[in-house]
């Protein structure tokens, strides 16, 4: 995703309030999901402090390795239309087979009832669609990036 003027301004505002982060630090720009409704709903869960993790297919980054998540990496998350919503920092990244994603990770994704059953159903559908787009075959052992992040800006208003 492009770094629009509004994204760059948002990043500079974040850096001005977090002087331990250099404004020249590289960062990624992306939104959650594949649809406007998903991007809004999932970002809202982050802003509420309920969603502290996300999952992706490592295969998606084979042709664009600079977009792959990495520990210590910063992200400006936007809505579907590209308007910046928050800054995240990746604090953990594990690659595990789909069928080995655990209950704790499913809970930290913050979606639905936060159960592993819900996570598997929703993410099987999502990853199956992504696999079709990138010409891969979905399987119960396909690799999954299990990424945990910290919301840096704006700070969550959720009780600790």
| CATH at residue 112 | 3.10.400.10
Q: Is the preceding omega at residue 154 within 30 degrees of 0, hence cis?
A: yes
pLDDT level of residue 155 (50, 70, 90 thresholds): confident
**146 lies in some domain:** yes
**141 lies in some domain:** yes
Domain of 26? Answer: 5-152
**79 lies in some domain:** yes
**158 lies in some domain:** no
**76 lies in some domain:** yes
| Global pTM exceeds 0.75 | yes
The string of pLDDT tens digits covering residues 88-142 is 999 999 999 999 999 999 999 999 999 999 999 999 999 999 999 999 999 999 9
How far apart are the C-alpha atoms of 74 and 11, rounded to whole Å? 10
The answer to whether the beta carbons of residues 87 and 14 sit under 8 Å apart is yes
Give the other-Cβ count within 10 Å of 81's Cβ. Answer: 9
How far apart are the C-alpha atoms of 70 and 6, rounded to whole Å? 24
**115 lies in some domain:** yes
Nearest residue to 101 via CA among 50, 56, 47, 48: 56
The string of pLDDT tens digits covering residues 5-43 is 999 999 999 999 999 999 999 999 999 999 999 999 999
Indicate the number of domains in the chain.
1
**40 lies in some domain:** yes
**159 lies in some domain:** no
How far apart are the C-alpha atoms of 130 and 12, rounded to whole Å? 32
Q: What does the DSSP assignment read for 2-39?
A: ---HHHHHHHHHHHHH-TTS-TTS-EEEE-SSSSHHHH
């Amino acid at each position: 995703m492009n770094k629009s003027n509004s994204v760059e301004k948002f990043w500079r505002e974040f850096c001005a309030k977090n002087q331990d982060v250099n404004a020249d630090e590289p960062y990624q720009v992306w939104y959650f999901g594949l649809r406007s409704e998903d991007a809004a709903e999932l970002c809202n869960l982050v802003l509420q402090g309920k969603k502290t993790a996300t999952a992706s297919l490592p295969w998606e980054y084979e042709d664009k390795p600079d977009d792959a998540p990495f520990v210590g990496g910063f992200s400006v998350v936007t809505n579907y239309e590209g308007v910046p919503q928050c800054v995240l920092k990746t604090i953990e990244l594990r690659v595990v087979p789909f069928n080995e994603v655990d209950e704790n990770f499913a809970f930290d994704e913050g979606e639905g009832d936060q159960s592993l059953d819900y996570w598997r159903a929703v993410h099987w559908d999502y990853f199956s669609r992504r696999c079709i787009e990138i010409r891969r075959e979905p399987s119960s052992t396909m690799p999954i990036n299990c990424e945990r992040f910290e919301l840096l800006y704006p700070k969550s208003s959720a009780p600790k």
